[in-house]
Amino acid sequence: MITLTDVTKSYGAQRVLGPVTLEIPAGGVTALVGPNGAGKSTMLTIIGRLTEPTAGRVTVGGRDVAKTPSRELARIVSILRQENHFVTRLTVRELVGFGRFPHSGGRLSDDDRRHVDEAIAFLGLDALQGRYLDQLSGGQRQRAYVAMVLAQDTDCILLDEPLNNLDMRHAVGMMKQLRRAADELGKTIVIVVHDINFAAAYADRIVALTDGLVAEQGSPAEIMRSDVLEGVFGTPIDVRVDGAYPLAVYFR
Amino acid sequence: MPELTARAEVTASASRRRPPRVWARFAVLGLLVVGAAVALLVYDIPMDPSRRGFWLAVNLRVVTVATIAVVALCQAVATVLFHTATSNRILTPSIMGFDALYVVMQTALVFFFGGAALAATDGLIKVAVQSLLMVGFATVLYGWLFAGRRGSLHIMLLIGIVLGVGFGSLSTVMQRLLTPSDFDLLSARLFGNMSNSNPEYLPWAALIVAVVLLAVWRSRHRLDVLALGRETATNLGVAYKREVTVLLILIAVLISISTTMVGPMTFFGFIVATLAYQLAGASTHRVVLPFAVLLAMTTLLVGYFVLKHVFYAAGMLTVIIEFAGGLFFIIHLLRKGAL
């Protein structure tokens, strides 16, 4: 379970987030949505202790993020940012192996290797595991990063726009895999997604932010309403229920 | 999952095949280092090895070889660590103004006390004070600008560059006002020279370097993670700010030892580190660090030998290395096309 209590983030006089008080229950997929600059990534990185909040308190799994030793926290929560550049030249397998660092301290045991194998297989990277990251396409690289985070084997996984760079097939594949990780492995997954329809189709909960504040939160059925979405995104959105889940149509 | 295990075996055998290649590279460099060191020790001694005089001559040369070894260790390790700490492989530690600080200290000494002071104050106390000043400078700079609440690596680098330029200008002003003979004495100190080294200082330097290297070696896995940058390292549970601050202070210790021993060397560390990344055949610190050290030793030993016994100009060694290093740096930048 993740809790945020009166969390704010300001740069100088400009407040970009908060105050946010929010509870994300354990298990399932939670999607953070909202227009550009709403504070989704800021909130995610604050939960993942990559950004220090100006004020407020964050706990993950009952532990205060600001006070828990970093190594201990790395076994509870993992976070992946949108953009990753490494100066070190790494193969996919080496990268995924780094995900085991909080457990192994750098020396991979048989158990660590098994986790690496599983994470690689989970994202369908078997054939690419010996390739260097700079020899991969953007989408393949994105999957390798996610595999690293999965190998970290934390209860809570935070992903900032994991669908970046992915084509339709791989975007759907990624969401299915995240869904599987939540359902089969019992992970708590929080993702920032741009496409509201992916959130509606795969998430258990949607949290919508505008101007640094939580505007709406609830199940996809509760959020996927024309008036709610138009309030959040500030553009005309038509919601159609076409089969199993609602679909937002906003293209023209 | 038979398919998966088969693949795992393929990669396992691939990784089993890789170490020998890495070890072969190490063996070649190691042989070069040993060969060059032995050659430097015994070449061109006009005496028979059975005579006592021969071994006295060898003993004298041991100081030079040991100095070269310590300097190579310091420069290679410090530069690789600096690249890791900054997640950038173009920078060199001298960007932080270390060399400039050394220059300004030497210049001030001559400026205020005259050229004779340079030789008169030579000794363990002076080098100790110099090293302490440089490490103190670095600790204050890093502690304040990087580890502080609002600190950032980029601001720290920027301030380091500005201070370096400031020190440089200060030195230039003082040098303008020196008498030509004082200036001549001074400029001999401002280019690295293996024979500038003080044998009294050598065991202390070696001891400190050994302690630093032990600490570095013990944290080699964490260094691999640090090299992935702040966000990934933090995600993987490495206390980034603390680790990088400690690393920067260790770098300051290594560079100050090297600089007080033989004078400033700007590009030498950069060459050996860059070559090590390309030639070591692996990217972990476990491989790259020792490889860079061996490359550094090879370069210095072979260079010194050639200059001393072929061109009779041993004092030119660092000048030539800096020249070649500068060229290499520019070529590397142009080929890479970006910072």
Measured between CA atoms, the residue of chain B closest to residue A88 is B283
Q: Do A152 and B236 touch (CB under 8 A)?
A: yes
- Which residues of chain B register pLDDT less than 50? 1-17, 339
Q: Do A101 and B88 touch (CB under 8 A)?
A: no
Top CATH class of B21-336 equals mainly alpha
Give the Cα separation of A190 and A178 in Å (integer): 10
pLDDT in tens, chain A (252 residues): 899 999 999 988 899 997 999 999 999 999 999 999 899 999 999 999 999 899 999 999 889 999 999 889 999 999 998 878 888 889 999 999 999 999 988 888 999 999 999 999 988 899 999 999 988 888 889 889 999 999 999 999 999 999 887 888 889 989 998 999 899 888 999 999 988 999 999 999 999 999 999 999 999 989 998 989 998 998 899 898 877 778 888 887
Which SS3 state, helix, strand or coil, does residue A62 take?
coil
Q: Do B11 and A130 touch (CB under 8 A)?
A: yes
| Cβ atoms within 10 Å of B144's Cβ, excluding its own | 12
pLDDT in tens, B86-101: 888 888 888 777 778 8
Neighboring chain B residues of A113 at a CB cutoff of 8 Å: 8
How does strand A14-24 pair with strand A2-11?
antiparallel
pLDDT at B89: 84
Which residues make Cβ contacts (< 8 Å) with residue A68, sequence separation at least 6?
A76
Residue A88's nearest CA partner among B237, B15, B223 is: B223
Q: Do A70 and B87 touch (CB under 8 A)?
A: no
Give the Cα separation of B55 and A22 in Å (integer): 78
Chain A residues whose C-beta sits inside 8 Å of any chain B C-beta: 48-50, 69-75, 78-81, 84-90, 93-94, 98-99, 101-102, 105-107, 113, 117, 121, 126, 129-130, 149, 152
pLDDT at B302: 86
pLDDT at B8: 43
Residue-wise over B9-31: b if at least 16 C-beta within 10 A, else e? eebeeeeeeeeeeeeebbeebee
Give the Cα separation of B122 and A5 in Å (integer): 62
Q: Do B7 and A105 touch (CB under 8 A)?
A: no
pLDDT at B197: 67
Quickly list DSSP for B215-270.
HHHHTHHHHHHHTT-HHHHHHTT--HHHHHHHHHHHHHHHHHHHHHHH---SSHHH
CA distance A88 to chain B (A): 6
CA distance A1 to chain B (A): 18
pLDDT at A148: 93
Assign residue B233 a region: left if phi > 0, alpha if psi is -120 to 50, beta otherwise? alpha
pLDDT at B7: 44
Q: Which helix (H) or strand (E) holds A117?
A: helix A110-122
pLDDT at B3: 41
Which residues make Cβ contacts (< 8 Å) with residue B10, sequence separation at least 6?
none
- ipTM of this complex prediction, to 2 decimal places: 0.89
Neighboring chain A residues of B232 at a CB cutoff of 8 Å: 84, 86, 98
| Cβ atoms within 10 Å of A83's Cβ, excluding its own | 9
- For residue A251, what are the CA distances in angstroms to A17, A28, A238, B136, B169? 28, 29, 9, 61, 61
Give the Cα separation of B87 and B81 in Å (integer): 10
pLDDT at B149: 67
Give the Cα separation of A86 and B27 in Å (integer): 29
Residue B43: what are its φ and ψ, rounded to 5°? Answer: -70, 140
Least CB–CB distance from A130: residue in B14, B234, B235: B14
pLDDT at A209: 93
Q: Which helix (H) or strand (E) holds A18?
A: strand A14-24
pLDDT at B20: 55
Q: Do B11 and A80 touch (CB under 8 A)?
A: no
